[in-house]
Amino acid sequence: MLTFIGLGLYDERSITVEGREALADADRAFAEVYTSHLVGATVDELSAAHDIDIEVRDRAGVEQHPEDILDAAEEAHVAFLTAGDTMISTTHVDLRLRAIERGIDTRVVHGVTAQTAASGLTGLQNYRFGKAVTLPFPYAHGADGVPASVVDSIEANRERGLHTAVYLDIKADRDEYMTADVASEMLAAGWEDVLAVAVARAGSPDPLVAADRLSALAERDFGDPLHLLVIPGDLHHVERDALATLGGAPEDVLAENEV
């Protein structure tokens, strides 16, 4: 059996009770930390907390050569661990389909995701989010500035009055994380006065929410990772009040987005 378990957002305590029980029942555990990882706990700390050795696999070991994971799941109960919710990345859907093709029983134990946490922390209504985007480091996509695909998606959401969740690039193997101020500076080149919301350390004991123009957010320090941005669309009056109260959004900026 192969059980996919989402670890949640921050540390070894972020896993659900169901996930913890499923991990305790597993004979072996594999994890990937290239999609994201828990900044509040190392793999060794996770292993100690859950009393199981966790074997880390890189991208190639999951996407291209997952045979050892699948072989183990044919003989025993294997847990496959990721930060957040385990099925947000299509990489893991592919791994599940490969397992099913080999006759391996599969199960999914969900965890909290960054987008749902961002919605909850900011007060922006989850059903009013459009297509999400990922903002890469410039060197990662071989060009300066913001990729056209990101620009097009944000503009399409804005035209429809929808919010955009902007996930920020991470290179976990290099311990490199794009911060909300860097992302805001990049996006401000095209939307200097546009309202945005920075969310830092969602799921931790000290999350931070800050709402302002992109140009203003570019001047701030949001502390330790992980960060993401939200570009709001049209604001319901409750969302407007939430951004003012929870994110300190200036009244003049909010007025430009309210419907």
pLDDT the model gives residue 140: 77
pLDDT digits (tens, 9 = 90+) for 53-66: 999 999 899 999 99
pLDDT the model gives residue 185: 95
Q: Are 178 and 97 in contact (CB under 8 A)?
A: no
pLDDT the model gives residue 259: 59
Whether the predicted pLDDT of 40 surpasses 90: yes
- What is the rounded average pLDDT for all residues in the chain? 93
Helix residue ranges per DSSP H, 76-179: 90-101, 114-122, 138-141, 148-159
Whether the predicted pLDDT of 46 surpasses 90: yes
Alpha carbons within 13 angstroms on the beta-carbon side of residue 225 total: 19
Query: Crossing angle of helices 237-247/114-122, nearest 10°?
Result: 90
pTM reported for the whole predicted model: 0.90
| Token pair belonging to 219 | 């001047």
